[in-house]
Amino acid sequence: MNDYSSKVIEVIQKIKTTATEVQKGLYFEEDFDKREGKFYEIKISNRVGILIEEDLCKENKRLEEALYFRKNLILRDYKDFIKELPNVYIFKNKEKMEEQKANTATNNGKQEEMVFIPQVPKFSLERVILPPSVKEDVLLSLTLIENQKRIYEDWGFEEVDAKPKLILNFYGPPGTGKTMVSHAIAKMLNKNILAVNYAEIESKYVGDAPKNLFKAFNTAKESDAVLFFDEADSFLGKRIQNVSSSSDQAINSLRSQMLILLEDFEGVVIFATNLAGNYDKAFESRILKHIHFDLPTLENREAIIAITIPSKVPFSEEVNREELCKKLAEISEGFSGREIKNAVLESLTSAVQQSTETIDEIVFLEGFQKHKERLEKFEQERKQKERSEKSEQGQKQEGGISKELKEKILENIENFRKEHEQTDDITFVILKSVK
């Protein structure tokens, strides 16, 4: 079993375990095709989701909450394997599951057409806690976008730069607000946002990725939406010079298509990446501004926690919300905004399990501490895996070079010996040392 297969099985098992912890006796099905029927869907990607039987979801709201939390963890820990996942269907009874499966119309191998739908922005800039320098960069970029006609046409900057640059690149660790700010920019521009990631563009059908990319740009153009590319590393990287496989060719084709579409597109495009990657120079020349999103400071974390803990939480009278936020900000050093949100949700879930009418601060302190320990453990395992992979790669490379050289040396010595009929001690010593 390859690494991808084992990871897929691992993810599916985590989904099933999470569901059965909330409600026993559930039934599960996995399917790469979308089924007919009434389901509540928790989307993992455009193609993959956790689908809960609608009646079951209405009966048990905690099931939805638990699986939504699990979905966030999957996106964090298994994002490289998401494209390999099937949909997971969850049913209350086996009979209904079998009936639904039998009545579902299948595509019979037909190609599924990609559909892109712009959405109303979910966040405003006031709801996003950012360092002052980042906020300043965002507002400056917005000023140019909103006043491009004045700057380029009225004030003549088009003589220097023929076309306004309306492309932004947000880079930094996951969960630091890149997606939220993208939504906020769309909101401030009074536009919808069309969010796309690489997994949605990529297709199992040869040649479809460029077509899907064209469709995304065309949809954004027709709807006058801000086009947002998440996990954009694959789009912005340098084109491969020494093409050695069909996948290399596909990547180059997609990147070339992206450049063509960017050149013709007159709207706003935002890229979000976890790394300040090794970008193709052709992309660099088209980007208005690179904005770095770093992990929140102590002050930022305190502010994020303050707005993330709902006002309706029934704290006990002894709890001082302001002091609690300060304590949690200290514990959450190294947390992204997303991790803070997950830690708050985990704490609230723990409070529900304890079935208390009011919540003491210890529930949140313990919840944040447990979340921190898990993150630290995950980071240690990630670094260990990274070191192990580098070591294996180095050994493999070293071993490969050594073997190749050894064979070449032995061949040359043997040829020399035969040619000159050398059987003396020197030749023997050389041969022995090489072997």
Please return the burial class of 258, using the count of CB atoms within 10 Å of its CB with bins 0-12, 13-18 and 19+. buried
DSSP-derived letter for residue 310 is: -
What's CA 433's distance to the chain center, in Å?
51
Q: Which range of residues forms the domain containing residue 95?
A: 3-103
Q: What is the distance between the alpha carbons of residues 35 and 89, in angstroms, rounded to a whole number?
A: 9
Is residue 54 a part of any domain in this protein?
A: yes
Q: Is 416 helix (H, G, I), strand (E, B) or coil?
A: helix
Which of 2-11, 157-166, 300-309 holds the top average pLDDT? Answer: 300-309
pLDDT digits (tens, 9 = 90+) for 190-223: 999 999 987 778 765 545 778 888 889 999 999 9
Identify whether residues 84 and 18 lie together within a single domain: yes
User: What would the mean pLDDT of 144-172 be, rounded to a whole number?
Assistant: 86
Identify whether residues 99 and 167 lie together within a single domain: no
Q: What is the pLDDT of residue 108?
A: 40
Q: Is 336 helix (H, G, I), strand (E, B) or coil?
A: coil
Looking at 324, 351, 374, the residue that finishes a domain is: 374
Q: Which amino acid is at 250?
A: A
Is residue 399 a part of any domain in this protein?
A: no
Q: What is the pLDDT of residue 247?
A: 63
**Confidence band for 327, pLDDT divided at 50, 70 and 90:** very high
How many domains does the chain fold into? 3
Given CA atoms 227, 232, 234, 237 in this order, what sign does their dihedral have?
positive
Is residue 199 a part of any domain in this protein?
A: yes
Q: What is the pLDDT of residue 283?
A: 80
User: What would the mean pLDDT of 146-164 be, rounded to a whole number?
Assistant: 85
Is residue 433 a part of any domain in this protein?
A: no
Is residue 405 a part of any domain in this protein?
A: no
Pick from 30-34, 142-146, 319-323: least confident: 30-34
Looking at 292, 310, 333, the residue that finishes a domain is: 292
CATH number of the domain at 332, please: 1.10.8.60
Whether residue 197 contacts residue 230, with contact meaning beta carbons closer than 8 Å, is answered with: yes
Q: What angle do CA 403, 406, 411 make, to 5 degrees?
A: 130
Report DSSP letters for 96-111, one per residue: HHHHHHHHPPP-TTPP
pLDDT digits (tens, 9 = 90+) for 12-54: 888 998 998 888 889 888 877 777 778 888 888 877 889 898 8
Phi and psi at 333, nearest 5°, equal: -55, 130
**Confidence band for 402, pLDDT divided at 50, 70 and 90:** low
Identify whether residues 344 and 226 lie together within a single domain: no
Identify whether residues 257 and 323 lie together within a single domain: no
How many Cα atoms are found within 13 Å in the side-chain-facing hemisphere of 130? 23
pLDDT digits (tens, 9 = 90+) for 76-109: 888 777 767 888 898 888 777 777 666 654 444 4
Minimal CA–CA distance to 217: which of 114, 289, 325, 95?
A: 114
Identify whether residues 236 and 362 lie together within a single domain: no
pLDDT digits (tens, 9 = 90+) for 261-297: 888 888 999 999 887 667 777 787 788 889 999 899 9
Identify whether residues 281 and 214 lie together within a single domain: yes
Q: What is the distance between the alpha carbons of residues 369 and 363, in angstroms, rounded to a whole number?
A: 10
Q: What is the distance between the alpha carbons of residues 85 and 11, in angstroms, rounded to a whole number?
A: 8
Looking at 374, 397, 423, the residue that finishes a domain is: 374
Residue 338 has pLDDT above 50, yes or no: yes
**Confidence band for 149, pLDDT divided at 50, 70 and 90:** confident
Identify whether residues 141 and 73 lie together within a single domain: no
Is residue 232 a part of any domain in this protein?
A: yes
Q: What is the pLDDT of residue 106?
A: 44
**Confidence band for 255, pLDDT divided at 50, 70 and 90:** confident
Q: What does the buried/exposed string (b/e) look like for 327-344 if buried means 16 or more CB atoms within 10 Å of the residue's CB?
A: bbbebbeebbbbbbbbbb
Identify whether residues 144 and 276 lie together within a single domain: yes
Where is pLDDT greater, at 432 or 234? 234
Q: Is 40 helix (H, G, I), strand (E, B) or coil?
A: strand
E-strand ranges in 19-160 read: 27-31, 39-43, 49-53, 87-91
Pick from 170-184, 252-266, 302-316: least confident: 252-266
Question: What is the pTM assigned to this prediction?
Answer: 0.61
Token pair in block for residue 287: 């980007």
* Segment (H or E) for 326: helix 321-331
Q: What is the pLDDT of residue 417?
A: 64
Is residue 191 a part of any domain in this protein?
A: yes
Identify whether residues 98 and 184 lie together within a single domain: no
Is residue 346 a part of any domain in this protein?
A: yes
Q: In sequence order, what are the residues at sequence separation of 6 or more whose Cβ sits closer than 8 angstroms to the Cβ of residue 11?
A: 74, 78, 81, 85
Q: What is the pLDDT of residue 275?
A: 74
Minimal CA–CA distance to 265: which of 163, 182, 342, 192?
A: 163
Q: What is the pLDDT of residue 62?
A: 87
CATH number of the domain at 190, please: 3.40.50.300
Q: What is the distance between the alpha carbons of residues 420 and 53, in angstroms, rounded to a whole number?
A: 83
Identify whether residues 138 and 37 lie together within a single domain: no
Q: What is the pLDDT of residue 260?
A: 83
User: At which residue do the structure tokens 């009074």 appear?
Assistant: 190
Q: What is the pLDDT of residue 246?
A: 59
Identify whether residues 93 and 13 lie together within a single domain: yes
Minimal CA–CA distance to 79: which of 170, 174, 194, 171?
A: 174
Residue 313 has pLDDT above 90, yes or no: yes
Identify whether residues 267 and 141 lie together within a single domain: yes
